[in-house]
C-alpha cells in the first residue's frame, strides 16, 4: 500500500496487522526517512534511531576497563551485544556503526515487526542473530553480553513484568563483568513519573546509573 500525504511529505508504504502489536504502519518521511509506527509512536527507524545513536555514541566515549587489563579504552571492549525488543533493527544498525565487528543477538516477540524490518529497514543485511522469543524467557539462557539494549514497548505501553525486580536481576546476571545495560523509557506527561521511579529502582541493582535525555525519552545507562 502506498499513499502520499502532500501536506506532511509522508508516504504510507504499508499497513499490516500483528496479533501482538496490533496495527503496524510503515511510513516514509522527508524528515525522518522510513520508519515503523504503532499507535502513532515510532517503533523502529526515524527519530528512534536518532535517539539510540545519541545514546550509544555517549557509551562509546566512556572510558571503561578493557578485559584482562587495568588499561581503559573508549567504549570498553564491547564485542557481544544483545537487543531486547529488536523491532525493525534500529538499535542493531547503530551498534553495527559504532562496533562493526561485534556479535549482535536481537530478540523480539513479534515476528511481524521483524518481517517489516527486513523488508523496509535493511535488518537482514546487518548480520544479526534474530530470536523470536519473550525477552524474559530468553534471559534464562547462560550467555553473557557486554552491551544489552532494552526497548520493550508495545506501542506506548511498557509491560508490567519488565518493571519487576526479577527481570532487572536477570538483565544484570546476563551482563559480562564490565557490561552496560541501557533501558529506554518514554518521558512525557504521566510517563515521566513512571520512568523516574523505574530509574530509582535500577539504582538498587547497578553500581552506577546515568540518566540521559535525548528527545522525549529517558535512557537509563546502567553499569554492572
Question: Containing H/E element for 173?
Answer: helix 165-174
- Give the ranges where 19-156 is alpha helix by DSSP (H): 46-60, 90-98, 111-120, 135-138
What structural domains and CATH numbers belong to the chain?
48-223 (3.40.50.150)
Q: Which residues pair with 23 in a beta bridge?
A: 17
User: Any idea which residues carry the catalytic annotation?
Assistant: 151
pLDDT digits (tens, 9 = 90+) for 133-186: 999 999 988 789 999 999 999 989 999 999 999 999 999 999 998 899 999 999
As a whole number of angstroms, the distance between CA 42 and CA 21 comes to 12
Position 38 confidence tier, pLDDT thresholds 50, 70, 90: very high
Strand order in the sheet with 217-223: 128-132, 103-108, 80-84, 145-150, 175-186, 217-223, 208-212
- The string of pLDDT tens digits covering residues 89-100 is 999 999 999 999
pLDDT tens sequence across 178-188: 899 999 999 99
Query: pTM of the entire structure?
Result: 0.90
Beta bridge partners of 223: 180, 208
Share of the chain above pLDDT 90, in %: 79
CA distances from 100 to 93, 97, 116, 124 (A): 10, 6, 23, 15
User: Which one-letter DSSP state was computed for residue 5?
Assistant: E
- Torsion sign across C-alpha atoms 29, 34, 39, 42: negative
Amino acid at each position: 500500500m502506498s499513499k502520499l500525504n502532500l501536506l506532511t511529505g509522508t508516504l504510507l508504504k504499508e499497513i499490516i496487522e500483528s496479533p501482538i502489536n496490533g496495527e503496524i504502519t510503515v511510513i516514509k518521511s522527508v524528515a525522518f526517512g522510513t520508519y515503523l509506527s504503532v499507535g502513532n509512536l515510532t517503533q523502529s527507524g526515524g527519530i528512534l534511531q536518532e535517539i539510540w545513536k545519541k545514546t550509544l555514541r555517549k557509551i562509546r566515549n566512556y572510558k571503561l576497563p578493557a578485559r584482562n587489563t587495568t588499561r581503559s579504552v573508549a567504549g570498553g571492549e564491547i564485542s557481544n551485544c544483545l537487543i531486547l525488543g529488536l523491532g525493525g533493527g534500529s538499535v542493531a544498525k547503530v551498534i553495527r556503526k559504532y562496533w562493526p565487528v561485534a556479535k549482535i543477538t536481537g530478540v523480539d516477540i513479534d515476528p511481524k515487526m521483524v518481517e517489516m524490518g527486513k523488508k523496509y529497514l535493511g535488518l537482514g543485511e546487518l548480520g544479526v542473530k534474530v530470536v523470536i522469543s519473550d525477552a524474559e524467557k530468553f534471559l534464562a539462557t547462560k550467555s553473557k553480553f557486554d552491551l544489552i539494549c532494552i526497548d520493550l514497548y508495545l506501542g506506548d505501553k511498557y509491560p508490567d513484568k519488565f518493571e519487576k525486580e526479577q527481570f532487572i536481576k536477570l538483565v544484570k546476571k546476563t551482563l559480562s563483568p564490565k557490561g552496560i545495560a541501557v533501558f529506554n523509557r518514554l518521558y512525557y506527561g504521566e510517563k515521566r513519573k513512571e520512568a523516574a521511579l523505574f530509574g530509582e529502582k535500577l539504582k538498587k541493582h547497578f553500581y552506577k546509573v546515568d540518566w540521559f535525555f535525548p528527545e522525549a525519552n529517558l535512557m537509563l545507562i546502567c553499569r554492572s
